[in-house]
Structure 1
Amino acid sequence: MARTRPLMLQIATGDPRPIARQIIDAVRMQIAIGALVHGDQLPSVRGLAQQLTINPNTVARAYAELTTEGWLEARQGMGLYVAARRQRLSEGERERRLEDAIGRFVHDVVPLGYPPEAVRQRVDAAFQNLTPRKTA
């Protein structure tokens, strides 16, 4: 039987994204980097809401979207689990989203005046920091 994995995420009150979006993005990231893997059980709606001191409806909305998108699977009477890894978006949609993200990033970074090589180094370092730490 799978143990419930604690979700190590924080809600930033100054973040322009709604709280449900912050939860969705954090869970996606944890799955993408392997911090959460197929079969891991997530905290209950009520449990995560208490942990984050937010309304349970907000957590329920986030979990519902993650389930609809295929990141999580509901097991009747048992809770929510990380779903098996699969291609969630078409190759064309993945390309479009990557181009959009890069465009936003470049438009945000260029006005800061950093040389491109310094930006590349920082981006490389950020990707290296995404590797989940092995636990014993």
Structure 2
Amino acid sequence: MSNVKIQIVTGDARPIFKQIVDGIRMEIARGELPVGTKLPSVRGLAMQLMINANTVAKAYGELTAQGLVEPRQGLGLFVSEPRQLLSEEEQKKRLHTAVDNFVNEVAYLEFRTEDILKEVQDALTKLEGASSPNDRN
């Protein structure tokens, strides 16, 4: 079983369950939680994060619905093989929403467009490098 390395931020606008979903999704995307990794039990993660177990159960339910993890009868929850459960139209809609939110966040920062694009490119490159086993040395 892997130790999930996420933190809950009390001032975050996202609900706690969403912070858990986002944190675990990023760990999976970066390869920090590879396919087949057993996640902590609901109670175990709730104790680690010092939050209500129902909140963890809700987050695990969302991760399961997204196809990122799968329950194995009597064994727990495991990171599953990547598979796309969203239609191409829904993927595009989510991309546009994420880009709109991002642009809204950075619109009033005093950075040039080139600097912002470089930051985004660097972050995506790190993500691609982490999720590709051939790039790890």
Q: TM-score range by the shorter chain?
A: 0.7 to 0.9
Find out whether 1:17 has 2:10 as its counterpart: no
Find out whether 1:77 has 2:74 as its counterpart: yes
Question: Which TM-score applies when normalising by structure 2?
Answer: 0.87
Distance 1:22 1:72, change over 3 A: same
Q: 1:116 aligns with which of 113, 118, 124?
A: 113
Unaligned segments of structure 1, at least 5 residues: none
Question: Which TM-score applies when normalising by structure 1?
Answer: 0.87
Give the count of matched residue pairs.
133
Cα distance in 2 between the residues matched to 1:64 and 1:115: 40
Unaligned segments of structure 2, at least 5 residues: none
Runs of 4+ residues over 2 Å off in structure 1: 124-136
Matching of residues 1-136 of structure 1 within 5 Å: 4-130=1-127, 131-132=129-130
Superposition CA RMSD, Å: 2.0
Percent same amino acid among aligned pairs?
A: 48
Cα distance in 2 between the residues matched to 1:13 and 1:32: 24
Cα distance in 1 between the residues matched to 2:39 and 2:84: 21
